Structure 1
Amino acid sequence: MSRLACVAKPSLSMKPTGWFQVAWSDEIAVGEVHRMKYFDTDMVAWRAESGMVTVMDAYCEHLGAHLGYGGTVVGEVIQCPFHGWQWNNEGRNVCIPYQDRPNRGRRIPTYPTVERNSSVYLWYDTAGREPYFDVPDIFGDFGDDSTAADYYPQARLYRTQLELHPQYVLENGVDFAHFKFVHQTPIVPLFTRHDFDEPVSYVDFTITFEGDEGQIIDDINSGVEAINGGLGVAVTKSWGMVDNRTISAVTPVDENTSDVRFMVYIGRVPGDDSPKAEAKAQAFGQAVIDQFAADIEIWQHQRYTHRPGLAAAEFDGFTAIRKWANQFYQPDHQGEPQSVSQ
């Protein structure tokens, strides 16, 4: 029996609305066709000569050839390997090589696509609605003047088809108690902001990874700001410690599993481009990845509990984030109501 045959289907829908990462930009060169499967759907991403990336369902609407196996990019269109039919970035047939007009009645489903922070995101919505919020920008959305040039290239983690749901990762953002036990912080962090009024939400907290339990939270001068773009993408900025920013992205593959991507940017020290500084940044970036991997070890074996028995101090945070998360599920895809109890 296969491993997946034994997996219990998550009680939360694996088809929430929102932006989800499907690739890194450097995985799709000009003229390349990239195969993938998300939301139980075979897809391809391809980059036109102009540099534009298109994400669409994988099968040609003529006789069903898979465009990811032999399909080619010709200028601004993708050409089917079977009979040469060509499809544009809207999924419309623009050329049948042995006929003087295209088939205007057929269209391959395509997805709104954004490239940001060296990543490719698609918009997914079972109701077919257009995007109504933006993908967070790790540099543009924190209100400072930082750019990618101020940071070393991304350090990355990529895990495929893990038995977890995107909401597990987002709920981590209000779970103050886990930091001491999973990440060995000397004291429990203090959350200073929970803003769940819009599809893009904000969580800030004071935290340190150094020192001992003799500290008090009022003495800590470091913390994290987080921006959650729906359930699929979260970006963070650290302050008062080594300058680092992260992007976590969790994308459902099928009814049981998700792909997890995690990116870390470590800030350059102005005026110091030495190999020693770069090596130090690489080591710190790996340490941040290791901390995230410790969370993954929990999530991939977690059972989602709709009515958890929470400590009193946990109640407000989990109530807020679960109420916020409900908006991303269509009524016919939601599963059991999400509630919490003390």
Structure 2
Amino acid sequence: MAKPPLSMKPTGWFQVAWSDEIGVGDVHPMKYFDQEMIAWRSESGDLTVMNAYCEHLGAHLGYGGTVQGEVLQCPFHGWQWNQQGRNVCIPYEDRPNRGRRIKTYPVVERNESVYIWHDINSRDPFFEAPDIFADFGDDRSAADYFPQQRLFRQGLQMHPQYVLENGVDFAHFKYVHNTPIVPVFTRHDFDGPVSYVDFTITFEGDDGQKIEDINSGVEAINGGLGIAVTKSWGMIDNRTISAITPVDESTSDVRFMVYIGRPAGPSATRDPARAEAKAHEFGAEVIRQFSQDIHIWAHQRYSDPPALASSELEGFTAIRRWAMKFYPDGRGGSAAELAATDSR
């Protein structure tokens, strides 16, 4: 992949694990944003994400570090670090080292996922990670859906912004996903750090359909560049979460999750095993379609500026301008592109 002229260290919420990967007492090593990190869960269930190296002599706490109640103990010399990254015990000294601290990250568990807040300037979070159920305001919850189905692809040469730009790319649906009709976008709201995109779409029928005849669509909520959640209506009841997290200067990890709604009525209770099997099939198909997009993104060159058709100009201009909110180092696009969007 040609390296994009976009920073791989944007600001926002990014997924680093699933919650069920980190049980009580577990220490989970990982690498994101060019940093070795760990996630660990205390005996009370609190989750901490911090940089991985002990400030004493540099041992990696993810390899042999142990949870001791509410603190993490280094495997090398037994130094203990609390959930704020502060040293609270040196077992062979009378007092801890109060001058050294391991960097910790704001963390939230939502959507069965672990999200951290990343910002190269260490600013506090200025928006919430989206919730796949609460943020659509329809009183639905995880209890109304079958268990989450997942896709995890590691170390792909792609940038999180590619995925977000897909949300305004109406033309790709017909050619990547073989939809019978090009969707029509009914909402583009890029005023805040959380953006909203709605569009009318169907995956069934033939080329003779008119968009006026379609009674189905998708609502999407984008929580910065790292997390997008969708709700489908008028078709198979499903909700999805896509989460793209930079690993280093050229690769990202991709996580994708789908929930399929539980059917209502007597047929669902009569044969629950069949209903669950059908849900698994539907979920696998949604994941397959997302994988089609991944195949494109992982080999894509970031066009800057892009050669847009006139009908694409409004959507792509809006989302690229919105994306600039998340690059505090200024590496979110060319000066020419910024000047062009600012003059519109």
TM-score band by shorter chain is: over 0.9
Q: TM-score, normalization: structure 2?
A: 0.95
1:141 is paired with a residue whose SS is helix
Matching residue within 296, 313, 328 for 1:315: 313
1:331 is paired with a residue whose SS is coil
Give the corresponding residue for 2:322. Answer: 324
Provide closer, same or farther for how the CA distance between residues 225 and 74 of structure 1 changes in structure 2, counting only shifts above 3 A: same
Matching residue within 221, 230, 233 for 2:224: 230
Which whole-Å CA distance do the structure 2 matches of 1:311 and 1:39 have between them? 34
2:134 is paired with a residue whose SS is coil
How far has the Cα of 1:332 moved from its partner? 4.7
How far has the Cα of 1:11 moved from its partner? 1.3
How far has the Cα of 1:100 moved from its partner? 1.6
CA contact (8 A) 1:208 1:222 kept: yes
1:16 aligns with 2:10: yes
How far has the Cα of 1:117 moved from its partner? 0.9
How far has the Cα of 1:220 moved from its partner? 0.3
Matching residue within 269, 275, 278 for 2:276: 278
Count of paired positions: 335
Matches within 5 A, 1:58-137: 58-137=52-131
Give the corresponding residue for 1:239. Answer: 233
Which whole-Å CA distance do the structure 1 matches of 2:144 and 2:123 have between them? 37
How far has the Cα of 1:335 moved from its partner? 5.4
Which whole-Å CA distance do the structure 1 matches of 2:128 and 2:13 have between them? 8
| Amino acid in the other structure paired with 1:324 | W
Q: TM-score, normalization: structure 1?
A: 0.96
Q: Deviations over 1:86-126 (max 9, x none)?
A: 11111011111111211111100000000001000000000
Give the corresponding residue for 1:190. Answer: 184
Structure 1: 4+ residue segments shifted above 2 A: 7-10, 331-341
1:263 is paired with a residue whose SS is strand
Give the corresponding residue for 1:336. Answer: 334
What are the ranges of 5 or more consecutive residues in structure 2 without an aligned counterpart? none
- Identical pairs, percent: 74
Matching residue within 265, 278, 282 for 2:259: 265
Provide closer, same or farther for how the CA distance between residues 295 and 110 of structure 1 changes in structure 2, counting only shifts above 3 A: same
Which whole-Å CA distance do the structure 2 matches of 1:51 and 1:328 have between them? 31
Q: Deviations over 1:260-296 (max 9, x none)?
A: 0000000001241411110000000000000000000
How far has the Cα of 1:138 moved from its partner? 0.3
CA contact (8 A) 1:57 1:110 kept: yes
Which whole-Å CA distance do the structure 1 matches of 2:330 and 2:11 have between them? 13
CA contact (8 A) 1:18 1:125 kept: yes
Which whole-Å CA distance do the structure 1 matches of 2:332 and 2:181 have between them? 36
Provide closer, same or farther for how the CA distance between residues 233 and 188 of structure 1 changes in structure 2, counting only shifts above 3 A: same
1:291 is paired with a residue whose SS is helix
What are the ranges of 5 or more consecutive residues in structure 1 without an aligned counterpart? 1-6
2:37 is paired with a residue whose SS is strand
1:50 aligns with 2:44: yes
Give the corresponding residue for 2:294. Answer: 296
1:235 is paired with a residue whose SS is strand
Give the corresponding residue for 2:157. Answer: 163
